[in-house]
Structure 1
Amino acid sequence: MVLLSDKRNASSSTIPDPFISARSNAPNRQAIALISDHGDPADIGREEAGGQNVYVRQVGEALAKLGWQVDMFTRKTRADDATIVQHSPHCRTIRLTAGPEEFIPRDRLFEFMPAFVEAFRVYQAEYHYPLIHTNYWMSAWVGLEVQKTHNVQLINTYHSLGAIKYQSVSNRPAIANTRLKVEQQILEQANCTVATSPQEQEALRTLVSSQGHIEVIPCGTDNKNFHVMPKSEARSQLEFRPDEKIVLYVGR
């Protein structure tokens, strides 16, 4: 991974010099955009960073290997973070300035999404992304706003559903109604919604909307980290006794 030192505001009218154009950087590749408003694909392990960050990063890098130029957009949360992080020759994370350059809890982040849209439009005007893959409901809102003014194909992955989350919450946050409305809009208006399991597809149909196109595409597994090995060796590495009972949960 190479961190580029250019820290100019991504919402300015000038694109950082090392990347004058995705087309000149990769003339034979079509540039596409992934948006992950709060889940920085270049940053794993910080507060509220986890499954979505990994998912978007891995999808982006896989698409680059398949021949795309992939630009992954997220919100800049620290002033000293690089504006652009280059992961591979054709896959990069671009951090946009939208509100204070500091961590903001997700339930208070939506008010800064209009600024995110405007910052993203600078890149859209330069690179003409024909396809945008949004992740999470706030990113979906960004995609819907961009689609109003640009001819783009819109794909969305929810990662979590307010329609499910709020069933077990006694006091809904103020943003709840907005989230539920956007979750319905994106399902009905996106060109495709990616559900990561049949159960998610069922929840979308029963709790969100009967309209819209859904494709079930399960999450993959990184075989470098997760692979078959002798049980005795696994127990030894985890410092479990040979006869010790273990309860394992795998999920996100």
Structure 2
Amino acid sequence: MSIALYPYNILESGTLTVTGTADTGYPESRLHDRSAVLLWKDTVTEAKTFHIDQGASNILPVDLLYVAGHNFDGATLAWQYSDDDSAWTDAVTGWTQGGNGVITKSLSSAVSHRYWRFTVTSMSNPQCGEIIMSRGYAFTLLGDPRPIQADRGNVARFESIGGMSRRVKLGDPRRSWDMDLRLGDAAARNSLLAVLDYTGGTEKPLIIKDMDGNYYLMELLEDPRIERAPINRGYTTLRLLEAL
């Protein structure tokens, strides 16, 4: 079994521009704050282009588009790249979006281009919580212990001054994973170190593609430690919680 981790977002490292003017209090920066519940929006009826310029010297490879918290149902969408900001190539074939669920589009291998854009045809009052363009780092899971997945209740518990137990529901349940990654060679260990460098350890959430091919925005609950075992059988444990 294997997973992939997507630790960076070129909307953060590059320069993002969006056509039109966002509503007050709903800025473009919300498109890459790694929280799908804080929205960018523009109360208008028009097409939108989300344009990224990575610059000439900081071009990161990309093989994933992840869009969450949007209302693009029924709109025609496109994901494209360019080397000169003039001639554009489809990263994937354009599509008509069905529903407002999370959008994921992946490439068979990562490609490096300076300019990327995500476009939405004219619609009323577009909004979006997160757009991520990243590259996946693949890891093999240890077969034993087996990965553990659970839904964790999003509830705060506390005790009142009078000693009464109180609970406050903060939101929907959050998916959690405990899994051990095999780090049997230097390449695997270096990939993990690269992931942690991009996320700042537990500082920033990241995208995970689980063993069933599902994508989630999750946060590390603790900094992974690389355990070294004989005959290059190193491993590390990831404890992940869904970021809402």
- Higher relative contact order, structure no. (Cα contacts within 8 Å, ≥ 6 residues apart): 2
The structure in which a higher percent of residues are strand is 2
What TM-score do you get using the length of structure 2 for normalisation? 0.29
Taking structure 1 as the reference length, the TM-score comes to 0.29
**Larger relative helix fraction:** 1
